[in-house]
Amino acid sequence: MKPYFPHVAIFSVGLLISGCMVGPKYVKPTVPMAPAFKEQAPESFKESDGWKPAQPGDQQIRGKWWEVFHDPELNALEEEATVSNQELKVAEARFRQARATIRFNRSAEFPTISTAPSIVNERDSAHQPYFPPSLANNGTGSFTLPVDLSYEVDLWGRIRRTVNASREEAQASAGDLQTVNLSLHAELAVDYFELRSADAQKRLLDDTVKSYTDALTLTQNRFEGGAAPRSDVAQAKTQLDGAQVADTDITVARAQFEHAIAILIGKPPAEFNLAPVPQTALQLPVIPVGLPTTLLERRPDIAAGERRVAEANDQIGIARAAFFPSLVLGATGGFTGTSITNWLTWPSRMWAVGPQLSQTIFDAGRRRAVSESAYANYDGTVASYRQTALTAFQEVEDNLAALRILEQEAQQQREATASAADSLQLFTNRYTGGVDNYLQVITAQTVLLANQRNDIDLMRRRMDASVLLVKAVGGGWDTTQLPKL
């Protein structure tokens, strides 16, 4: 074999260099989109309304996007969630697992070298069938120290596409990790603002109970003075009881939001307490939304979907490579002796080298079925990618519309609340002067309380919409943050 070894080596290197890749070349799928968001602010709205289209150089949203709300307590909770949230740890572990898969598949690009030394003493039985007794011996020794090398030449790109597919899956897992990170932080911010809204409702209802208590005292004094019937006292007492029920009931929602926040930051609810604040000055941030085209680069779930489309494209190439022959280069070398004394001597050397070509001739349609499955999977991932992008456009539009409409509604509500307060004062004065009955006061009290609660609820909805808009535009993330694996 000696004279042929150089020729085999040259032939193998030539095949390695000339290897091609079968299967379609990847082209990023297109997504139906408009040139701008429908609900972006018209010129008549100011930046102070809480949102605006992004301008070149807009950099308000960073990785710690929650800081745009300027709430130190929220910032501290978000930082704690980054470190301690268990769902985030699960997503991070899955990313590390996907990254390890790259190294596993990349190992196929290199030869596999193995050894299996053995020492065997063997004696043939003199009573074996057809064994001539004259050839019986006292046993032989076999001392073997082989080194085996095996290398599959990637003629059709199967190995390279497998490595690419695992790399793309790892990048998709990185996108999944960022999606979970964004979703959990957004959920925490929403729960926090819901809790602070419950605090505001509790303060309002506490004040209302005090006000209704004063009103009950007024009616009792008028009744005792003979200026009002007992029915006024009963009505005032009923109004007070209803306010006390609402005041107690709001604590249920607050407790539930506090428990939810505890879980998000990785603590049991029994070990977490978020004290009410005397007054929460919530601030609506300015959120740049950009254009639909930039949204494709700023949403980690869209990026993950696109990476899985690329992975599915490589899977088609892997399936196509199965239709072509595979070439494996094998080599064995080492020492084989009959005893320990001659085992590692030069005459005991042995080696063998040569290529092996294999081709499946008939498999009853198995490879074709795998190929059709790969094409179908690709079509499905393309549709999923486009649907994810369309859903992202919808989320941005929904929250832009919510912020725009809620700003108008909040202004109208402030005027309604002021009018209700004036009405209550007017009817209270008229009742005190004996002009109107107490039913007018009760009606005015009910209307004022409903409007004041609407004021608080509208601010809550605007803060929630702001958080969801930040989440919808990616929370400051972009595709440049995908790992280069």
Q: What beta strand segments (E) does 252-388 contain? A: 326-337, 349-358
Cα separation, 402 vs 397, in Å, equals 8
Chain position carrying tokens 């009606």: 443
CATH level 3 topology of 23-110+158-326+368-481: Outer membrane efflux proteins (OEP) (1.20.1600)
Distances, alpha carbon 323 to alpha carbons 25, 159, 355, 366, 392, in Å? 18, 14, 19, 10, 40
| Structural tokens at position 311 | 């992975």
Q: Where are the domains of the chain?
A: 23-110+158-326+368-481
Q: In the Cβ-directed half-sphere of 32, how many Cα atoms lie within 13 Å?
A: 5
pLDDT score for 45 = 39
Cα separation, 86 vs 273, in Å, equals 19
Q: What is the DSSP string of 34-57?
A: -SS-TTSPPTTS-GGGS-B---TT
pLDDT score for 41 = 53
Distances, alpha carbon 38 to alpha carbons 35, 136, 394, in Å? 9, 95, 10
- 416 alpha-carbon distance from chain centroid: 42
pLDDT score for 221 = 93
Are the CB atoms for 165 and 307 separated by under 8 Å?
no
Print burial letters for 230-250: b (CB count within 10 Å at least 16), e (below 16): eebbebbeebbebbbebbeeb
Phi, psi of 190 (to 5 degrees): -65, -45
428 Cβ neighbours under 8 A, 6+ residues apart: 215, 441, 444
DSSP category for residue 121: E
Cα separation, 323 vs 318, in Å, equals 10
| Structural tokens at position 389 | 């992008």
Cα separation, 286 vs 255, in Å, equals 30
* Among 12, 23, 3, 33, residue whose Cα is nearest residue 385: 33
Give me the tens of pLDDT residue by residue for the chain, a chain 485 residues long: 444 444 455 455 545 444 688 989 999 999 998 888 888 754 333 444 444 444 433 445 678 999 999 999 999 999 999 999 999 999 999 999 999 999 999 999 999 999 999 888 777 666 666 656 666 666 677 889 999 999 999 999 999 999 999 999 999 999 999 999 999 999 999 999 999 999 999 999 999 999 999 999 999 999 998 888 999 999 999 999 999 999 999 999 999 999 999 999 999 999 999 999 876 677 888 888 888 888 999 999 999 999 999 999 999 999 999 999 999 999 999 999 888 888 889 989 999 999 999 999 999 999 999 999 999 999 999 999 999 999 999 999 999 999 999 999 999 999 999 999 999 999 999 998 888 889 999 999 999 999 999 999 999 999 999 999 999 999 989 899 999 98
Cα separation, 245 vs 184, in Å, equals 33
| CB atoms near residue 153 (< 10 Å) | 20
Q: Which residues pair with 356 in a beta bridge?
A: 328
| CB atoms near residue 273 (< 10 Å) | 8
Are the CB atoms for 310 and 168 separated by under 8 Å?
yes
Q: What is the pTM of this model?
A: 0.85
Cα separation, 395 vs 389, in Å, equals 10
214 Cβ neighbours under 8 A, 6+ residues apart: none
| Structural tokens at position 185 | 């932080």
Cα separation, 382 vs 261, in Å, equals 36
* Among 334, 404, 427, residue whose Cα is nearest residue 52: 404
Cα separation, 261 vs 255, in Å, equals 10
Region class of 475: left (phi > 0), else alpha (psi between -120 and 50), else beta: left
Q: Which residues pair with 329 in a beta bridge?
A: 151, 355
